[in-house]
Structure 1
Amino acid sequence: FWDMLGLPQACGRGLDELAAVVYPADWPKLAVPRASVPTTNYDVEVRVRRSDGTVRWIALRGREERYNDQQLLIGIAADLTERRQTTLLRATVRRRER
């Protein structure tokens, strides 16, 4: 996950490191509402700016669980950048064809 964001692999990273690469406008999407239920699902797409300056679209899907008073995030991350670029390119071509 961290290499997708352009950061070296490491265990126990804090949310501050994630906040440093996620676009500020996208950060509220990551604010999972804290409910009284032990499990909360999440499904978001955010933009990140990697350390080399490139912008990537990342999908985050999974769930937050509480176990023995610990917060656990279980899920997957996928790089959607190429799909996003293709979608934008198609839209541009369609506009020009009109």
Structure 2
Amino acid sequence: MDLERLHRYPWGLTSFDFLVENINKSSAGLREGKSCTLDGFSLALQIWLMEAIPVLGTMMSTKVKNAPVTIPRCTNWSGFSALSFGDISRR
């Protein structure tokens, strides 16, 4: 195993591309009224949503840090819960 080569591999870019590909596939099913499962690093998408739309963030988790930018952003949140479309639409 070549550890140097392993460390140079763009894991973030690869997992992001895989996630975007699966979002595109899943969105077609959602338009047809089907349920879907996202493959890839969906936690990154969830954290982005929680940071970009604070109301969703507080519905899904508890914010533990109020700093404007904390890296990694996942350290801003404690615990995650499932959220359905119905939960969002009732807000």
Band of TM-score, shorter chain:
under 0.3
- The answer to which structure has the higher helix fraction is 2
TM, length-normalised to structure 1: 0.23
Structure whose residues are more often strand by fraction: 1
TM-score by length of 2: 0.24
